[in-house]
Amino acid sequence: MEQQPTVTPSGADETVETIFRIESPRIIAGVTRVVRDVGIAEELAQDALVAALEQWPRDGVPDNPGAWLMATAKHRAIDLVRRRERYARKLEEIGRDLEATVPFEEPSDPDDIDDDLLRLVFTACHPVLSAQARIALTLRLLGGLTTPEIARAFLAPEATIAQRIVRAKRTLATTGVPFEVPYGPDRESRLGSVLEVIYLVFNEGYAATAGDDLLRPALCEEALRLARVLAELMPKEPEVHGLAALLELQESRAAARTGPSGEPVLLRDQNRRRWNRLLIHRGFAALARANAVTTGAPGPYALQAAIAASHAQAYTYEDTDWRQIATLYGLLAVRSPSPVVELNRAVAVSMADGPGPALAIVDTLAAEPALRDYHLLPSVRGDLLARLGRTREARAEFERAAGLARNERERKLLEARAKECR
């Protein structure tokens, strides 16, 4: 089998690291099956990367670089188990299986690697970990992000993120979380955790909680990639397709959501010609797949995707079918009740029936503990009051919202709304 031409030393590191970033989730997943420890598997994958950095500039890039990295990492796993005494018990239990993998050169069955990748998704998102730990570990193992990249994305110290990842891997090891895809009732409960993590990662990129920038595109891209991978691995799960559809449709608006200086552009003011039609098409297709495999009522992600699809179908803001959107939010409130869903429903009701009925809904949410420091509650209330002509009250609500906003771009927008009410 011929190898690709030798890469020059100057371009070798970039070539190897690019390939590794693409292949690392599958390598870690495959090695985890051998060693049954996510932390050790990640270290062995890194060892394979080092070997590639040493050999590929000299010998050339293999025809199947992913298989080369996988084989190298698995061979090192076997050597490690044999060499270290503390793995003697593990060697006794799985030694025969390891011997069978020694001649591994290329994936004999791509579906096997896909199965391992799916196991890794469920392991990284296991409910035994906190939500923050799941997000950090998922971005590290499946998104291929480095600790500094994750820290920058969430505006957290690198040491905090590093400790979070280390503790997460230690927790998975000490609690004996199995490297498997659960079946039956366990799958539905675990799948919810997986989808939640991907959704949270996307949302942090779509509307950053804090910092100077409204968007963090890298997080949106990673979440969307993970959703697409999951949809390929679990084609019969409607909510997987629902989440993929939702993220495709939300991401389609990205180019129109900020102005030339990075300032937020409200939905009503967005240039819809800048919406990505390819992503909209993909979103519609994913939603159709979700509907095709749904046997009962649609799930929360499919309902949110349907809401996003309603926006995508409207050529102008005025063409939006707000009554349909309000109905969908009503269904979502029944399926997955939360104060935030009710607040979004109020916005849709305000467009369908006027600000008066919507204000009544918003006022019932004032005492909700979950919305106490949520800047969008006074922001929505301020908008409704302004539309009712109650400008003094509206100004106070926008000022309160600006005081609660942690994102600099959103804060400036709310301050400008308050000034408009003077």
Q: Give the distance, in angstroms, between the CA of residue 83 and the centroid of all CA atoms in the same chain.
A: 38
pLDDT number for residue 110? 40
pLDDT number for residue 294? 93
| pLDDT, block means (10 residues), the chain with 422 residues | 46 76 85 86 88 86 87 85 58 55 42 67 89 88 80 79 94 90 78 88 73 68 87 92 97 91 88 96 97 93 97 94 96 94 96 96 91 92 96 96 89 93 83
pLDDT number for residue 212? 53
Angle (CA) 139-67-198 rounded to 5° is: 20
pLDDT number for residue 251? 95
pLDDT number for residue 79? 78
Whether pTM exceeds 0.85: no
